Amino acid sequence: MSATSTWTITGVRDALRAKEISARELTKDFFARIENRNRELNAFLALSLERAYAQADRIDAMIAKGNALPPLAGVPIAVKDVISTRDITTTCGSKILESYNPPYDATAIERLERAGAVILGKTNCDEFAMGSSNENSAYGPVRNPVALDRVPGGSSGGSAAAVAAGLAVAALGTDTGGSIRQPGACCGIQGMMPTYGRVSRYGLIAFASSLDRIGPLTQNVTDASTVMSVIAGHDTNDSTSAAVPVPDYAAELEKPVQGLRIGVPEDYFGEGLDQEVREKVLAGIALLEKLGCGRIPLQMPHTDYAIATYYIVATAEASSNLARYDGVRYGLRIPGATLGEMYRTTRERGFGPEVKRRIMLGTYVLSAGYYDAYYLRAQKVRSLIARDFADAFQKVDVIITPTAPTPAFRLGEKTADPLQMYLADIYTVTGSLAGVPGISVPCGKTNVGLPVGMQILAPHFGESRVLQVARAFEKAGGFEI
């Protein structure tokens, strides 16, 4: 084992069973990797050493007794800092929660640990998950391990960078408008967004409640399916979590894709798409055709309205969700002579520029006189976008598009123009609005070596189908790790 070797969940399972390494040694190795690389990458904001070693020791005790091991036994996992971890500082990348220690664990965390995972720590992200480059973190940007002058994507930039750099075997991210899939694409790894309601949001600190989802970032598709099988499922603590049985994702994974119908929406390959990204994604689709998939051109007529719809719906929900940060119950308080002054100065000092921008926009579109013209209208257009997907899935089994219009851009390249930054989400927000599941899989690199991501979307609760196509593609394309 070298400092640069890539661990997968399957690899960890085999090594622990063969007693080539103990869970404690593996945990120690990962903390050493983080120690070596984090100053440069800024992927981790906090480490949970005590908790990680305690869990590793529990796994080692199970191995010593010859007990059956749970699916993530000893697997070092990183967690985006918007997901609550009991007694481990959870900042959401914001100054307003700089010293906040949640009193409880998110359901996803509870399930990971019950499945034997070792939580290494919390990863950097755009403040309250608002951003596409990780440059909106109050704790500084994350660098892309593939090219250090580039962004890792966002908002789950720290999670993606940690996995891509081998500082964690897998990570949890959250996806509201592309925040798992786009950083997955930028860093050259798998990023999966489950169906809305498939994974409990209990303990996920809310950005836009009708859009937020928790999902995995992993080295390969098999690992994504393993994490999904652990975190998916109904939870009485989240009224929007779906009471739909979780299938055996692993059982579907290696099924041949022959005969599946791939929808290719023409609107996603038009103006604004980088030439190299277009070529790689089209080559990826051609490869799936060689495996026996049919290719069906699609019209999804409301695609062009998705960014506008998304930035109204998401900011409206955000302005409401973030009203809770007022200096009363938790987080930062800047004292004031009156309650109102305390609220205003606390929020002015605690929130960064992008969060304030979105609170302002969201408050505006919800305010008297504008609600119908903006918010209500956006909710109606959201119905039309969801209908585009429903219609498309009458004709096809999956939809394939680029994940992002360009490869990872340079740090600072888009920070001056918020609207340009929003357009980085152009191919991901549609699936977010419709509530469908999707994954970004690596589909090659540009001439200068930047990873390109291909997005695979399926109907609601079609995670098995997403993973099956992703796995076939990974195997046939030689992207296997």
Dihedral pair phi/psi, residue 27, rounded to 5°: -60, -45
Close Cβ partners of 306 (under 8 Å, ≥ 6 residues apart): 385, 426, 429, 430, 433
Is residue 435 close enough to count as binding other proteins by CB under 8 A? yes
Is residue 247 close enough to count as binding other proteins by CB under 8 A? no
Is residue 269 close enough to count as binding other proteins by CB under 8 A? no
**Of the candidate residues 290, 335, 394, 448, the single one contacting other proteins (CB under 8 A):** 335
Structure tokens given for 292: 């026996």
Q: Which stretch binds other proteins (CB under 8 A): 5-13, 221-229, 368-376, 402-410?
A: 368-376
Confirm if 280 and 407 have CB atoms less than 8 A apart: no
**Of the candidate residues 12, 224, 232, 378, the single one contacting other proteins (CB under 8 A):** 378
3-class secondary-structure state, position 54: helix
Nearer to other proteins, 233 or 477 (CB): 233
**Of the candidate residues 374, 409, 427, 479, the single one contacting other proteins (CB under 8 A):** 374
**Of the candidate residues 3, 61, 148, 339, the single one contacting other proteins (CB under 8 A):** 339
Nearer to other proteins, 171 or 436 (CB): 436
Is residue 415 close enough to count as binding other proteins by CB under 8 A? no
DSSP 260-282: PEEEEEGGGGSTT--HHHHHHHH
Is residue 89 close enough to count as binding other proteins by CB under 8 A? no
Structure tokens given for 28: 């120690």
Q: How far apart are alpha carbons 417 and 354 in whole angstroms? A: 11
Confirm if 455 and 403 have CB atoms less than 8 A apart: yes
Is residue 324 close enough to count as binding other proteins by CB under 8 A? no
Is residue 243 close enough to count as binding other proteins by CB under 8 A? yes
Q: How far apart are alpha carbons 100 and 85 in whole angstroms? A: 10
Angle between helices 157-164 and 23-41 (to 10 degrees): 120
**Residues labelled as active-site residues:** 80, 155, 179
DSSP 169-183: SEEEEEESSSTTHHH
Nearer to other proteins, 66 or 340 (CB): 340
Is residue 326 close enough to count as binding other proteins by CB under 8 A? yes
Q: How far apart are alpha carbons 259 and 184 in whole angstroms? A: 28
Q: Which stretch binds other proteins (CB under 8 A): 35-43, 151-159, 263-271, 344-352?
A: 344-352
Is residue 85 close enough to count as binding other proteins by CB under 8 A? no
Is residue 299 close enough to count as binding other proteins by CB under 8 A? no
Q: How far is the CB of 328 from other proteins (least distance, A)?
A: 5
Q: Which stretch binds other proteins (CB under 8 A): 36-44, 127-135, 250-258, 428-436?
A: 428-436
Nearer to other proteins, 343 or 473 (CB): 343
Is residue 312 close enough to count as binding other proteins by CB under 8 A? yes
Q: Please give the torsion angle defined by the CA atoms of residues 140, 141, 146 and 147, in that order, rounded to the nearest 10 degrees.
A: -100
Nearer to other proteins, 36 or 367 (CB): 367
Q: How far apart are alpha carbons 469 and 456 in whole angstroms? A: 8
Our CA angle for 280, 281, 287, nearest 5°, is 90
Interface residues for other proteins in 10-39 (CB under 8 A)?
none
Q: How far is the CB of 54 from other proteins (least distance, A)?
A: 20
Q: How many CB atoms lie within 10 A of CB 447?
A: 6
What residues pair up with 76 in beta bridges, in sequence order? 118
**Of the candidate residues 359, 429, 443, 472, the single one contacting other proteins (CB under 8 A):** 359
Is residue 101 close enough to count as binding other proteins by CB under 8 A? yes
Q: How far is the CB of 423 from other proteins (least distance, A)?
A: 9
Is residue 249 close enough to count as binding other proteins by CB under 8 A? no
Is residue 367 close enough to count as binding other proteins by CB under 8 A? yes
